[in-house]
Amino acid sequence: MDSHLMMYGPDHKLFELAPIGAALVFIAFIFVKIARPARARGSWLLAAAASSLFAIWSGYAGLTGGWAGFWPLHQAGVWGNQIWFDLLLAVGAAWSLLLPRARSVGMRVVPWTLFVLATGSIGLCAMLARCLYLEASPQGESGGDLA
């Protein structure tokens, strides 16, 4: 596959606008979370939606750029390395903060951790969604088999 096509894909303009749109959604999310109660009802749906939407986007990236298309970008120079390190630090910090909460609601942390290691933010957002759902559920972990 042509390296330009692998990096930019057929929808070049979309890839210029998508990061800006994602940043605006992220900033709005931050302000909404600051303004709302920490344990807002149904907040697990937002994490589940983020996981699902990012899984779809990642599937598109995998189909157009190959399953390991991200790796050459992370090896392309100092900025590629910096982005990889930043992703590892962010997922590691978020997972470390989520782990005690996941354990407290009875989630099986080893399978969830393997899912996070395999998929990054997709698995992390799914794990967060499940944890938030179980925290809000009156029956706790007895409410399902997906923990």
138 and 72 within one domain: yes
Number of domains the chain is built from: 2
79 and 139 within one domain: yes
Are the beta carbons of 55 and 46 closer than 8 angstroms? no
60 and 105 within one domain: yes
Alpha-carbon gap, residue 126 to 146, rounded angstroms: 11
119 and 65 within one domain: yes
129 and 58 within one domain: yes
Alpha-carbon gap, residue 93 to 21, rounded angstroms: 25
The model carries a pTM of 0.79
109 and 75 within one domain: yes
| pLDDT, tens digit only, all 147 positions of the chain | 455 555 555 667 888 888 898 899 889 888 887 887 666 677 888 889 999 999 999 998 889 888 888 888 888 999 989 999 999 999 999 999 999 999 999 999 999 999 999 999 999 999 999 999 999 887 655 544 555
61 and 82 within one domain: yes
69 and 25 within one domain: no
Which residues lie below 8 Å from residue 119, measured CB to CB, with a gap of 6+?
55, 58
Structural domain including 8 reads 1-36
99 and 53 within one domain: yes
Burial 18-42, CB ≥16 within 10 A → b, else e: eeeeeeeeeeeeeeeeeeeeeeeee
110 and 46 within one domain: yes
Alpha-carbon gap, residue 126 to 114, rounded angstroms: 12
47 and 23 within one domain: no
